[in-house]
Amino acid sequence: MRILHFSDIHLDVPIKKIPLREWLGKRVIGGLNLLLYRRRKFENVWQRFDQLNEFRLREKVDLVLCTGDYTLLGTEPEYEAVHRAVAPMYSSPLGFVSVPGNHDLYMPNTVRHERFERYFGSSMTTDRPDLKVDEFWPAVRLFGPEVAVVSINSSRPNPLPWRSSGKIPDRQLVGLRKILAEPDIASRFVFIMTHYAPRLANGQPDSWDHGLVNADEFLDICAPVKRGAILCGHVHKCFRVRVPGVAPELFCGGSATINDGGGFWVFDMNGTSMTAKRGERLGERYVLTES
């Protein structure tokens, strides 16, 4: 089984396509940020995403996992366009599993209009509804007898423009602890995925205004998982790091479409053992490198 994990594609639409009513509060600042800064860091993102899809087909990926930040501002026109672009990935042989990023829930009205649920609901299904603690989370997907993917949501609207931190609700952490102790899940290789990175590439926590505020509690719950990996995004740099005292290794997908250092991960499963390879963009195509 071959698994592709990518993140933070931040596909954007022309500003003029975003209706005036969407330009409220933080989005005005987010829009300026997009114009002045992100456009320089994220060029040709649509073309790059098509190339990532070509990679998926060429490399015979069975299952696709995305850790969020599909959009920049979480507006309806962005969701419509992004959903069209991502749709082919749903037809991967084992499907597509996803969590929202903070940009996908950029403002409270994005959540009120349930945009992520409407456009990406079919990537958030669960094979164990008895283990959910709210409408969607944690979601558990079982693939054959040997692999499980457990997703939790760490993203939330952050109406203050200078803050983009995340938090996993306490109920989800309680649910996650229970899930990881379930015999039918503990016997598998378990991918635990969420948007926010509990650690940076240097093994240190992210800052208070950008990071996962309950990263330590999350890592503490993941710590005993002997065969598993923690998957995240949000930090736009692709890296892997071992956290002392935490058995599963942490893999950050970074951003697949960013100008410099665009990357992602490919995991090859052989029973319950996993081999990780990094993917990166080389000219007009994405290729695998050794980890």
- Residue numbers at the binding site for Fe ion (CB under 5 A): 8, 69, 101-102, 234
Q: Do the beta carbons of residue 178 and residue 51 sit within 8 Å? A: no
> Which CB, 12 or 69, lies closer to Fe ion?
69
CB of 101 to Fe ion, least distance (A): 4
> Which CB, 48 or 234, lies closer to Fe ion?
234
Q: Which of 254, 262, 251 minimizes the C-alpha distance to 287?
A: 262
CB of 58 to Fe ion, least distance (A): 26
> Which CB, 188 or 234, lies closer to Fe ion?
234
CB of 40 to Fe ion, least distance (A): 15
CB of 240 to Fe ion, least distance (A): 18
CB of 8 to Fe ion, least distance (A): 4
Question: Who's near 8: CB < 8 A, 6+ residues apart?
Answer: 67, 68, 69, 101, 233, 234, 236, 253, 254, 255, 256, 257, 258
> Which CB, 167 or 234, lies closer to Fe ion?
234
C-alpha to C-alpha distances, 102 to 105, 133, 280, nearest whole angstrom: 5, 21, 24
31 φ, ψ (degrees, to nearest 5): -65, -40
Q: Which of 221, 121, 208 minimizes the C-alpha distance to 171?
A: 221
> Which CB, 26 or 234, lies closer to Fe ion?
234
